Structure 1
Amino acid sequence: MTKPKKNKTLLIIYPHWHPANLAGVQRPRLIGNYLSELGWQPRVLTVDEKYFEEIPDPDFYNAFSPDFVVTRVAAFPIIKPRLIGDIGLRAFWQLYKGALKIIREEHIHFIWLPIPSFYNALLGRLLYEKTKINYGIDYIDPWIRDITNQRNLRAVLSQWLAKILEPIALKKVSLISGVDTAYYRPALQRNFLNFFDKNGKLKAESTNPYTLTKMAHLGMPYGFDPNDHKLTIRDAIPPWGKEINRKIWLYAGAFLPNSHLFLQAFFKAVANLRKQGNWDEDIKLWFIGTGSYPSKRIITYAEDFGLRDIVEERRERLPYLHVLNWLSRADTVLIFGSTEPHYTASKTFQALLSQRPLLTCFHLQSSALNILDSCNASQFSVRYTPENNTLELESNFKRVILQRFAKTKWQPNLIPLKQYSAEYSAKKLISRIEQINPKETII
Structure 2
Amino acid sequence: MQISDSQSKKNARVLIITYYWPPSAGSGVQRWLKFAKYLPEFGWDPVIFTPENPDFELKDETLLSEISAQTEVLKFPIWEPYNLFRKLKREKAGDTSKVLEKSKRSLMDKFGIWLRANAIIPDPRVFWVKPSVNFLLDLVNSGQFQAIITTGPPHSLHLIGLQLHQKHKIPWLADFRDPWSKWEFLDTLPMTSWARRKHEKLEKKVLSKATAISTISPIFQSEMEALSNRKVDLLTNGFDEDDLPDDWTKRIPSSSSFEIVYTGVIDAIRNPIPFLEAMKSSLAHNKGNVMLRFVGKVSDGVKTYIQADDWLSAHVKLEGYVSHEKVFDFYGQAHLLLLILTDTKNAKGNIPGKLFEYMATGKPIIALGDPDGDAAGILQKANAGKVYAHSDMEGIRKFLRDFEPEVNHTPSPEIQQYSRKNLTKQLAMILDRISDK
Which range, TM-score by smaller chain?
0.7 to 0.9
For 1:228, the equivalent position in structure 2 comes to: 243
Q: Deviations over 1:281-318 (max 9, x none)?
A: 222222222366xxx72223435766233223356x43
For 2:418, the equivalent position in structure 1 comes to: 420
Residue 346 (str. 1) matches residue 353 (str. 2): yes
User: 2:410 & 2:258 partners in 1: Cα distance?
Assistant: 21
Partner-residue secondary structure (3-state), 1:171: helix
- The letter of the residue matching 1:56 is K
User: 1:336 & 1:256 partners in 2: Cα distance?
Assistant: 10
**Matched-pair contact (CA < 8 Å) for 1:114–1:121:** yes
For 1:283, the equivalent position in structure 2 comes to: 290
**Matched-pair contact (CA < 8 Å) for 2:129–2:159:** no
Report deviation, 1:322. 1.8
Report the CA distance shift for 1:375/1:67 in structure 2 as closer, same or farther (over 3 A): farther
- The letter of the residue matching 1:249 is I
Report the CA distance shift for 1:310/1:32 in structure 2 as closer, same or farther (over 3 A): same
Report deviation, 1:274. 4.8
**Matched-pair contact (CA < 8 Å) for 1:111–1:124:** yes
TM-score, scaled relative to structure 1: 0.77
User: 1:134 & 1:396 partners in 2: Cα distance?
Assistant: 49
For 2:263, the equivalent position in structure 1 comes to: 252
Q: Deviations over 1:342-378 (max 9, x none)?
A: 1112101212233433332342233333333343322
User: 1:288 & 1:161 partners in 2: Cα distance?
Assistant: 38
**Matched-pair contact (CA < 8 Å) for 1:111–1:135:** yes
**Matched-pair contact (CA < 8 Å) for 1:259–1:336:** yes
Report the CA distance shift for 1:66/1:252 in structure 2 as closer, same or farther (over 3 A): same
The root-mean-square deviation of aligned C-alpha atoms, in Å, is 3.3
Residue 313 (str. 1) matches residue 312 (str. 2): no
Report deviation, 1:396. 0.9
For 1:107, the equivalent position in structure 2 comes to: 144
Structure 2 segments unaligned to the other structure (5+ residues)? 89-95, 97-111, 248-253
TM-score, scaled relative to structure 2: 0.78
Report the CA distance shift for 1:253/1:305 in structure 2 as closer, same or farther (over 3 A): same
| Structure with higher helix content | 2
Q: Deviations over 1:382-409 (max 9, x none)?
A: 343xxx8x3xx111111211232x3368
**Matched-pair contact (CA < 8 Å) for 1:45–1:71:** yes
User: 2:182 & 2:150 partners in 1: Cα distance?
Assistant: 19
For 2:433, the equivalent position in structure 1 comes to: 435
User: 2:191 & 2:314 partners in 1: Cα distance?
Assistant: 34
For 2:57, the equivalent position in structure 1 comes to: 54
Report deviation, 1:170. 2.3
**Matched-pair contact (CA < 8 Å) for 2:12–2:145:** yes
**Matched-pair contact (CA < 8 Å) for 1:267–1:305:** no
Report the CA distance shift for 1:94/1:314 in structure 2 as closer, same or farther (over 3 A): farther
For 1:400, the equivalent position in structure 2 comes to: 399
For 1:92, the equivalent position in structure 2 comes to: 129
User: 1:429 & 1:148 partners in 2: Cα distance?
Assistant: 27
Q: Deviations over 1:195-244 (max 9, x none)?
A: 3xxxxxxxxx4xxxxxxxxxxx2112111211122489xxxxxxxxxx99
Partner-residue secondary structure (3-state), 1:287: strand
For 2:370, the equivalent position in structure 1 comes to: 363
**Matched-pair contact (CA < 8 Å) for 2:274–2:393:** yes
How many residue pairs get aligned? The number is 389
User: 2:255 & 2:330 partners in 1: Cα distance?
Assistant: 13
User: 2:195 & 2:339 partners in 1: Cα distance?
Assistant: 27
Partner-residue secondary structure (3-state), 1:96: helix
**Matched-pair contact (CA < 8 Å) for 2:19–2:54:** no
User: 1:344 & 1:273 partners in 2: Cα distance?
Assistant: 27
- The letter of the residue matching 1:25 is V
Structure 1 segments unaligned to the other structure (5+ residues)? 196-204, 206-216, 233-242
- The letter of the residue matching 1:360 is A
Report the CA distance shift for 1:149/1:98 in structure 2 as closer, same or farther (over 3 A): closer
Report deviation, 1:155. 10
Report the CA distance shift for 1:157/1:26 in structure 2 as closer, same or farther (over 3 A): farther
User: 1:314 & 1:325 partners in 2: Cα distance?
Assistant: 12
Report the CA distance shift for 1:147/1:160 in structure 2 as closer, same or farther (over 3 A): farther
Paired residues for 1:41-440 under 5 Å: 41-48=45-52, 50-76=53-79, 78-79=83-84, 80-81=87-88, 88-145=125-182, 147=184, 151-153=188-190, 161-190=198-227, 192-193=228-229, 195=230, 205=231, 217-230=232-245, 247-255=258-266, 257-260=268-271, 263-274=272-283, 277-278=285-286, 280-290=287-297, 297-302=301-306, 307-313=312-318, 317-339=321-343, 340-378=347-385, 381-384=386-389, 390=391, 393-404=392-403, 406-407=404-405, 411-437=409-435, 440=436
